[in-house]
Structure 1
Amino acid sequence: MRKITLEEFRAEVKAQGVEREHYAFKCPMCGTVQSASTLIAAGVGPDFEAVETRLGFSCIGRFTGKASPTEEKGKGHGCNWTLGGLLTLHTLEVVTPDGEYHPRFEPATAEEAAQLKASFTGAAKSHAVDVKVRMTGGTYIARHKGRNASNTAGPDLAAAALGRKIFGQLQRVAVERIGSDADRHNGIYRLTPDESQKCRECGCTFSRPCAGGCSWTEPDLCSTCATVEVL
Structure 2
Amino acid sequence: MIKILMIEDDFELAEILSEYLEQFEIEVKICDDPYLGLSTLNTSKFDLVILDLTLPGIDGLEVCKEIRTKHTIPIIISSARHDISDKINAFEFGADDYLPKPYNPQELLARIKSHLRRQSITMQEISPAPKDLVCDDFRHIITLKGEPLQLTVAEYDILRYLIKKEGGAISREELIYNCNSINEDSTNKSIDVIIGRIRTKIGENPKEPKYIHAIRGVGYKLEQ
Superposed pair shares fold, TM > 0.5: no
Higher helix share: 2
The structure whose Rg is larger is: 2
Greater strand fraction, Structure 1 or Structure 2 = 1
Higher relative contact order (CA 8 A, sep 6+): 1
- Structure 2 length as normaliser, TM-score? 0.29
